[in-house]
Chains A and B, each alone.
Chain A
Amino acid sequence: MNVIEATDLGKRYGSTWALRECSIAIPAGHVVALVGPNGAGKTTLLNLAVGLTAPSAGTVTVLGGTPAGSPAAREGIAFVAQDAPLHKNLSVADMLHLTRNLNLHFDQGYAEARLGELAIPLDRKAGKLSGGQQAQLALTLALSRRPQLLVLDEPMASLDPLARHDFMATVMAAMADDGVSVVLSSHALAELERVADYLVILSSGRVQVAGEVDDLLACHCVLSGPGAEANRFAEHLDVVHALHSKAQTHLLIRTDGSTEPVPPGWKARPTSLEELALAYLREPGAASLPGPKRARHAEPTESAR
């Protein structure tokens, strides 16, 4: 089952396309990291998926073909928007009561137990909680609805490192206990490494990379060697991004997964999720998509020089 499936999805605000020709299928059972520069269309894609916005072009379905925004989709998806919007003048208990009233399913026991563990007092106004507590409250409200899919838009943007860790611990526990699928957008690449097992990179409103983290890491590696040979050498390779320093050139290349012969004087090493994501973010023209290659092939970079 695909938790989010978009076909030629586009959203236009006035004359600007926030997202265009976005086709993507995000399978269930993953923690999906949606990564991209500011203005890449991450929030737009998530808003379309949760039915907050209607598409200008194309279609988007969720939870295995359910139209986004339909009653079944609303029931099965819990969404925590950026900055965790809560009614600041309501107490924590009232926010629970509110959410319970607005949904068919709400696990009051789970909600109270989680807030107890987090030492968030039920009688405190939501607006008086710390940023981390507000994020935790919004997350608790979302998880208490027992969703099939949890969508988080920049959940960690305003949190300190400790709060980020606690927040993601809650998400991972829900994932492990309950099998809830998670889609989260984030800037915090280093944090994602620990939690995400599926990566989607959006750039200028288009999908640049989509795939399981393990597969992506398996078919990318970094070659380092003397800069003088780099250009000749790179012609035969699928180079995503080249980083030239004084003595050495580092090439992040795409392989077919098999070990390629490394020329003398060059060294190969595996890449990290952060390094991989940064390489693609620096090269908006490069793409790595599952199935038949849809996008242009990467060209050895001129701009990076």
Chain B
Amino acid sequence: MTTLTMLPRSERDASRRQVPWRRMAWVNWRQHRLTVAGLVAVLGAVSLYLLFIGRQARTFSGVAGHSLTLTAALFQVIPALIGAFVGAPVLAKELETGTFRYTWTQGFGRARWTVATLAPLAVTVTVLAGAVGFLFSWCYAPLIGGHYGSNPLDGNTFDLHGVTFAAWTLTAFSIGVLAGILIRRVVPAMVATMFAWSGLAVVTGVFLRPHYEAPLVTSTPNVPSTDWVMSAWWTRGGKPVSSSTIDQVLQRAGATVNSGSVTQSPGSALGNMSPTQYLLHHGFTQFLSYQPASRFWPFQWIEGGWLFALSLLLMGTAVWLVHRRAA
């Protein structure tokens, strides 16, 4: 039988120090290297695709723009997947397999272990997503305005650009981490992460983003296509005119109005004028509320900022939940 050699008790008492943080480097590498490898592989493939499209966009922007619009919808899923596959298992796997009873009773300490596990993963995820986001911005730049006529604040792509893509990915990771400790099972936590993240993304796009700054209002009929037009309404003699009145006016002029789209019949009173020109000619004024394209970067930082703060809050809550179980 082997014998244990004990440290003298006094030496043990003198060593009331904590296990150094750097010891977690190997632990993290060993436990998360496959996850990180998968993350790099997926984001690497996305980056190669963006490089290819970005070069194409600089030669034939129409074609590239079309395929980019299609794939932009797919890119939206990336943060949700990272949240589900990287964030959710971190704590849920420990809880589901019971290894938390091993990990959290080691000398390192559970709250410190949680911080030391989450921080490097969060940084990795954010940096990689940020790189992809800026690549997307580069790729998308030729499509803004001009022939293709995209606006950078467009809801389909705004959250794919540099700052927001990193922030949304970090948020998804944080949601995953918190879902992991609340739900304690890997697969349900993954599903919950995707739903919670998607819900937040939709709510943000519809209700929050338009109000980061008060929209500008103009009666100039032609705002640049790079601006984000949020709503339009007509007035006549300073009084607002309802859209049904506008429809009636156009119908009297001989146009067919069908759920918002106007069809001109040949030989109508509209002549060669567009419906808008016709209305402007007949004393109506159109007002537009819009977010100018110059607000793109301020909006990026506003959205990135509050998402970053939210992520810290979510991860802080997860650490607190882990810690709370200890005396």
Contacts and interface: CB of A to CB of B under 8 A. Distances in A.
Contact of B102 (A55, A86, A113): A86
A60 B327 CA distance: 9
A75 interface: yes
Nearest to B102: A85
B30 A94 contact: yes
Interface string A85-99: 111101000100111
B21 to A, nearest CB: 11
A53 B16 CA distance: 23
Interface string A50-92: 1111110000100000011111101111110101011110100
A275 to B, nearest CB: 32
A70 B4 contact: no
A259 B238 CA distance: 112
B4 A174 contact: yes
A67 B327 CA distance: 7
Interface stretch (B66-74, B107-115, B201-209, B218-226): B107-115
Given A52-B325, A85-B101, A146-B7, A104 B107 contact: yes
Contacts of B107: 71, 74-75, 102-105, 145
Contacts of B105: 50-52, 74, 77-79, 81
A8 interface: no
A287 to B, nearest CB: 27
Contact of B327 (A69, A86, A105, A143): A69
B272 interface: no
Nearest to A72: B16
A117 interface: yes
Interface string A230-248: 0000000000000000000
Identify the interface centre among A53, A70, A101, A146: most chain B CB within 10 Å of its CB.
A101
Q: For this complex, into which size category does the number of interface residues on chain B fall? A: 35 or more
Interface residues of A, number: 52
Contact of B108 (A85, A103, A117): A103
B5 A102 contact: no
A229 interface: no
A43 to B, nearest CB: 10
B2 A113 contact: yes
Nearest to A105: B7
Contacts of B259: none
A146 B6 CA distance: 7
A178 interface: yes
Contacts of B327: 48, 51, 54-55, 60, 67-70
A107 interface: yes
A120 B6 CA distance: 24
A128 to B, nearest CB: 15
B265 interface: no
Contacts of A295: none
A179 interface: yes
A15 B151 CA distance: 57
A99 B106 contact: yes
Interface in B260-283: none
Contacts of B27: 98, 101-102
Contacts of A260: none
Contacts of A104: 15, 17-19, 107
B98 A83 contact: yes
Given A75-B107, A79-B105, A110 B6 contact: no
Contacts of B113: 102
A79 B30 contact: no
Contacts of A53: 325
A173 interface: yes
Nearest to B17: A104
Interface string B1-42: 111111100001001111100011011001100000000000
Interface string B299-327: 00000000000000000000000001111
A53 B324 CA distance: 8
A102 B104 contact: no
Contact of A90 (B30, B101, B325): B30
Contacts of B59: none
A114 interface: yes
Interface string B156-200: 000000000000000000000000000000000000000000000
A10 B155 CA distance: 53
A160 interface: no
B243 interface: no
Interface in A159-217: 173-174, 177-180
A79 B24 contact: no
B93 to A, nearest CB: 9
* Cβ-closest 5 pairs across A and B: A81-B101, A102-B106, A103-B107, A69-B326, A85-B98
Interface of B: 1-7, 12, 15-19, 23-24, 26-27, 30-31, 97-109, 113, 324-327
17 contacts: A51-B105, A51-B326, A52-B104, A69-B326, A74-B107, A81-B105, A99-B106, A101-B19, A101-B27, A102-B23, A103-B107, A103-B108, A113-B2, A138-B102, A146-B4, A177-B4, A180-B4
Given A83-B98, A101-B24, A102-B103, 11 more contacts: A50-B105, A51-B326, A52-B105, A71-B16, A71-B18, A71-B109, A72-B16, A87-B31, A101-B23, A104-B18, A177-B4
